[in-house]
Structure 1
Amino acid sequence: MTTLNNLNGCVAQFDPQALPVSAAQAIVLQWVTPLAASERVPLRDALDRVLADDVVSPIDVPAHDNAAMDGYAFDGARLASAGAGGALRLTVSGKAFAGHPFDGGVAPDACVRIMTGAPMPAGCDTVVPQERVERAGDAVSFAADAVARGANRRHKGEDLAAGRPALAAGRMLRAADIGLLASLGIVEVAVRRRLRVAYFSTGDELRSPGEPLAPGAIYDSNRYTLGAMLRRLNVDAIDLGIVRDEPVALEAALRGAAETADVVLTSGGVSVGEADFTRAQLQSLGDVAFWSLAMRPGRPLAFGRVWSGGRPGAGRAALLFGLPGNPVATMVTFYQIVRPALLAMAGAKAQPVPLIPAVCDAPVRKRAGRTEFQRGLAARGDNGQWRVAPTGSQSSGALSTMSAANCFLVLAHDATDLDAGDPVDIMLFDGLV
């Protein structure tokens, strides 16, 4: 067992050769310090930014009682006078539109033609839908049981009352949030500064797409995958290219990245091969928390802190995730370990991606003692039950089956083989990727 002291002085014990995924996730979050710096940005530029301050509504939304649908507004007290099975006949006194309210008085035996969103005329509290009435000239008639008193009226402040909290700090702003803030008349908001994440691939065999392939060379997919996953999180992503399998080059890349970035992501170089230097450099330049997980795919994953000055405590520090080199392992470790850490560091109070119960339609092999994230294709059956099957090869190098999948089959640490028809938890890519 190895003992790790984190930034807050807490102590966590783990087996560095088989650290459970849940323990790794907890340790990473212990090391995370949310960004404190903030800036004000125009509302149009605030999508996917993390709100830095609570927003309190300066106005009532809606600002007045208004019609929830097209129809006729009237005093709902008239319904009781019609009696059971009776009918009402009302004179139409005028019209009300959104932005053009009816300003006159409404007699007890009268109504106002009203459109959705128009302010309710004084003395009216109910809207009968237009399809429930019969109109003849300047009068309408309808059954008294066609509508209940107070129906189809939105109340002032019903959505949000002045002085009430609208959005809490730490929220990652989505489209509905932008619309909500606009409805309050807010033109700019305080948000956390963007997280700066530097990333590069390691390996002498790697070439960028568009370059010719020499014998034994392969195209670097990981850097493009990491860049795409980072863009989904709206961070400032810094592509440092490909770093060769040389300790001096790797040290220079890590120290340079730590000088400007909050987080550094590498792919490759964290296993036990003779040319795998990332773990050794991390031990030399910073602090190592763990470097191996009880996880498939993604067992070799180095996590810690690297310092720009070349030794712990010297210069500027950045968190480092040394991801495995196999492309699917890179993606799985990003989603399960890195993504929650980046959100927390950005100041977001994000909810975990939910697990959904499903029925497995095919046998699945699973060894106890590690958490597995297998690629699957899920669909809802006619009864609403999710059903799932693996997409094919579960090799950590098979990106084609990752591309064909729409979910992970999440197989718990102690789980074993599944038979067809067994229950299984799935994590849908929608909302994750």
Structure 2
Amino acid sequence: MGDHTGEHTGREAVAAVWRIESARIVGALARYTGDFALAEDLAQEALAEALVTWPRDGVPRNRTGWLLTVGRRRAIDAFRRRAALDDRYAALARDLGEGGAASGSSPADPAGGAADVLWDSDRIDDDLLALMFVSCHPVLSREARVALTLRVVGGLTSDEIARACLVPTATVQARITRAKKTLAAARVPFEVPPAEDRRERLGSVLSAVYLIFTEGSTASSGGDLIRFDLAGEAQRLARVLSRLVPDEPEVHGLLALLELTAARFPARTGPDGEPVLLEDQDRRRWDRAAIRRGRAALARAEQAGRGLGAYGLQAAIAECHAVAPSVEETDWERIVLVYEALGRLAPSPVVDLNRAVAVAMADGPAAALRIVDGLAESGALRDSHLLPSVRGELLARLGRTAEARAELERAAGLTANERERALLQRKLAALP
């Protein structure tokens, strides 16, 4: 009984320290070895060793130091295996010195030298930021950026990422392996990019965080409308970024958008997990603390005085909804204007479709249908359920029931999310 309890405690301790400190551990090892892919492997090896050792020998006093020491020891082993006694290996060996991990001291209570050299508190923020930039490097595909960010910065396991993204674990592992090989082949350095490249590269980081949140807030497939763990991880990453890059307004704009959108989560699903449309939501269930955080982040984005970027503009739209007492009392004219600005700054058929929804509320369904018909004629969103869903709604409001039915049936056939399909089928059943 006692052994079983100790084993359980050991495993819980490993999971807890990994979730909290993994990004810093990988960052410190990457800075030290100069090899991002190797650092991630070393951190995973240290984690595997902890899963065996801690339940058996007890949880060490300095858990992070233990993992860093083991990671460093494995780094030296890796350099030895490469049979390359280059400057890095020589420096590593010198730094370990007497009493360090290389001289046989127990990692259960590291002597200090190994961990302290790595764990430079002044560099931790730089390490974290560099980790984000490397994980979201433009040489990687969107899927690879998401997987690598969740793994390396978020501390999620391959199984957790697979569940979140609704793909097999083997697919996630393949994406991560391929991403690390790509970064190595492209000789991507482990560093925060120089100032002249930083803003452009930051866009890649923000895009990855936004993709993670978008998949969490409205799951593209499966039985749940919202994947709270995935959306919550994106919010956490956005908060970390806002602390690491406080002078970039779009970082605060993204954080504002995520907070204000997540504020509506408690009212977006009913007791059985079914979607609840905006006009039917109980606004008393909206998360007021998240709204306050979102509005504060939006204010910080505005204070920069450079004008809002694409994420900031979307946050401004979300704020209009957050402060409105009801759908009828929402400032739809302002929402239409902000969507027009967003369409000029970041043209997208989804932005145009959302603008059409706002136009329907401000000026009526006929004006909105002209926008949607233009999108349909252009072939945009051909394979998405979103366009026929909105078009069906507008046609129903105009009394064109037969056409509305055809559009809603098409939308139901295109969506892979079971909850959204059920909602569309309820709309079909409600048609006269």
Give the TM bin, normalised by the shorter chain.
Answer: under 0.3
Greater relative contact order (CA < 8 Å, ≥ 6 in sequence): 1
If the length of structure 2 is used for normalisation, what is the TM-score? 0.22
If the length of structure 1 is used for normalisation, what is the TM-score? 0.22
- In terms of fraction of residues, the more helix-rich structure is 2
Q: Which has the larger radius of gyration?
A: 1
